[in-house]
Structure 1
Amino acid sequence: MKYTVDKKEQYVVFTPLEEKLDSSLSPKLKSELLTVHAEGYNNLVIDMSQVKYVDSSGLSALLVGNREFSRNGGIFIISTPNEHVTKLIKISMLDKVFNIVETMEEAAEAIFIHEIDNQGEEDGEED
Structure 2
Amino acid sequence: MKYSIDKAEKYTILTPEVEKLDSLKAPQLKTEFITLFQAGTQNLILDLSQVKYVDSSGLSAILVAKRLADESEGHFVLAGLNEHVEKLVKISKLESVLNILPTKQEAIDAIFLYEIEKDLEQDGE
TM-score (norm 1): 0.96
SS at match of 2:23: coil
The 2-side partners of 1:56 and 1:121 are apart by 36
Sequence identity percentage: 53
Q: How does 1:1-127 map to 2 (within 5 A)?
A: 1-125=1-125
SS at match of 2:95: helix
Residue deviations 1:61-99 (CA, integer Å, cap 9, x gap): 000000001112200100010000000000000000100
Deviation at 1:104, TM superposition (A): 1.1
Runs of 4+ with >6 A deviation: none
SS at match of 1:59: helix
1:13 is aligned with what amino acid? I
Structure 2: gaps (5+ residues): none
Structure 1: gaps (5+ residues): none
Question: What is the total number of aligned residue pairs between the two structures?
Answer: 125
SS at match of 1:96: coil
Residue 19 of structure 1 contacts residue 53 of structure 1 at CA under 8 Å; is this kept in 2?
Answer: yes
SS at match of 1:4: strand
2:16 is aligned with what amino acid? P
Root mean square deviation, CA, Å: 0.6
Deviation at 1:122, TM superposition (A): 1.1
